[in-house]
Amino acid sequence: MTEREILFDLLRNGVSPVHAVLHCERRLASAGFRRLYYEDAWELSPGGCYYMIHHDTTLFAFTVGETWDEGSAPSGAASRRRSRAPQIRLAAAHTDYPCLKIKPSPDVASNGYAQVNVEVYGGAILNTWLDRPLGVAGRIAVRSEDPFCPQIIPYASDRNLFTIPNLAIHMNREVNKGVELNKQVDMLPVAALLPKDGKEGDFLAFLAEELSIRKEDILDYELTVYCTEEPEFVGINDDFISSPRLDNLTSCSALVSALLKGRRSGGINLIALFDHEEVGSSTKQGAGSILLHDLLLRMLKGLGRESSAQSDLYQSMFLSVDVAHGVHPNQAGKSDITNKPVPGRGICIKEASAQSYATDCEAVAVVQQLCEAGGIAYQRFVNRSDQPGGGTLGAIASALLPAKTVDIGVPLLAMHSARELMGSADQEALAALAKRFFESESRL
Ligand code: ZN
């Protein structure tokens, strides 16, 4: 399969963070990766491939080399910095995306319609969610005999359950001047038409039937309302991919491919696919937790490298992989004046002196040299000086790691729309760079 086909597979299946993790897990498990559980003792061996899942929505996977190359101190100017090729190479992305989440007590009945109560998760462009076919996916907590161990069931509807209709232009003639949508009033999806007999909607009864369980046994859930539209090629030369969830399944897809294919003889390669990036990452399964640092120390201990763990970590390198902003065809003035990435012309290296993107000239130079050695196209991204722009998990995770860090990703248009747009050629470039990052020995 090509990287684009692999991406399309994840875009279709990764409809919630739970399902993105399940899909990536399937790829890893079928390639022989062995699952580890945090609560167990770990026995790691050279040449081993492992993964771990945290709260169903964050996934770590790593490969251990057959050897551990201590490296020789480089000569010349570099020797004063004692730098050498990192033996621990980390790359991270996120599994979540801006969307709507279903609240508890979900049923709303109004004027003949059954609706569900939702809240907005992350920085969604709200109007793009109108008039779309929508499904529901996530996980459901079900009553069990042991109150501390509720049964957790993943669920994804296999059809369109909801839609949020726009208001007709005849009822708001000012609509094309811009409409402010109220998150509580205007974003409630319609689920059904109510019968005239006064019977109300019952979303939990529907869920119970879907899962073949009793409604009373549904205790809680984390359910994402997702856009059910398919990923598609767009353009007279198929130059674009248009799809829901490109931010950041492009990166998750490329990192799993890179870990599966990019092997080298020594050290550790690790990918971390975190939840909760779109709400700030400071959660138990987000990049702002101690989890990654803790996991690395535990891995090194499991490999008998406890005494040199701090030094190993200090020499590690971290790729934070998330989408960048391509220059907009109708709004080029929103981009920086000298750095205007175009979709399809390669991955972006992202920098911000405010450190909203991890910015480290040493790490940037590493990526540039890896791209040049592999013939991989890259571009530079910075925000306009009068636009704050977004941030990524790179700056947050690297605050807990003493690693060289760089933010990279494919350029995107319509970021945080229900349907986003990328250049078709860029997925192969991203996967190729991530693979090269994992497999390259010290000398290119
Ligand atoms: Zn993102």
DSSP letter string, 1-36:
--HHHHHHHHHHH-SSHHHHHHHHHHHHHHTTPEE-
The pLDDT of residue 364 is 96
Place of tokens 């811009």: 178
pLDDT at 70 (0 to 100): 61
- How many angstroms separate the alpha carbon of residue 112 from the centre of ligand 1? 38
Cα–ligand 1 centroid distance for 374 (angstroms): 25
Q: Which helix (H) or strand (E) holds 429?
A: helix 426-439
Q: What stretch of H or E contains 100?
A: strand 99-110
> What separation in Å is there between the alpha carbon of 278 and the centre of ligand 1?
7
CA of residue 72 to ligand 1 center, whole Å: 38
Mean pLDDT in residue range 403-430: 97
Q: Is the bond preceding residue 248 a cis peptide, omega within 30 degrees?
A: yes
Could you give the residue ranges of the DSSP H alpha helices within 262-314? 291-302, 309-314
For residue 135, the SS3 value is strand
Residue 387 pLDDT class (50, 70, 90 cuts) = confident
Q: Are 269 and 62 in contact (CB under 8 A)?
A: yes
Split at pLDDT 50, 70, 90, the class of 355 is confident
pLDDT for 211: 96
Provide the token pair at 133: 């076919």
Mean pLDDT of 155-179: 96
Q: What is the pLDDT of residue 42?
A: 87
Residue type, 337: I
CA distance 212 to 184: 31
User: Rounded mean pLDDT of 199-212?
Assistant: 94
> 115 C-alpha to center of ligand 1: Å?
29
User: Residue 178 Cα, ligand 1 centroid: separation in angstroms?
Assistant: 26
Cα 117 to ligand 1 centre (Å): 26
Instruction: For residue 234, report the distance from its CA to the centre of ligand 1, in Å.
Output: 22
Q: Cα(268) to centroid of ligand 1, in Å? A: 25
Task: Quote the CA–CA distance of 291 and 343 in Å, as a whole number.
Answer: 34
Provide the token pair at 372. 């040049």
Backbone angles phi, psi at 176, to 5 degrees: -80, 0
Whether 243 and 231 have beta carbons less than 8 Å apart is answered as yes
User: Is residue 229 within 8 Å of residue 244, measured between CB atoms?
Assistant: yes
Q: How confident is the model at residue 443 (pLDDT cuts 50, 70, 90)?
A: low
Neighbours of ion ligand 1 (CB under 5 A): 247-248, 322
pLDDT of residue 83: 56
CA–CA separation, 397 vs 291, rounded Å?
A: 10
Closest CA to 378 of 422, 430, 326: 430
Q: How far is residue 423's CA from residue 33's CA, in Å, rounded to a whole number?
A: 31
Mean pLDDT value of segment 54-79 = 75
* 444 has a pLDDT exceeding 80: no
96 C-alpha to ligand 1 centroid (Å): 8
Q: Which two tokens stand for residue 52?
A: 């771990």
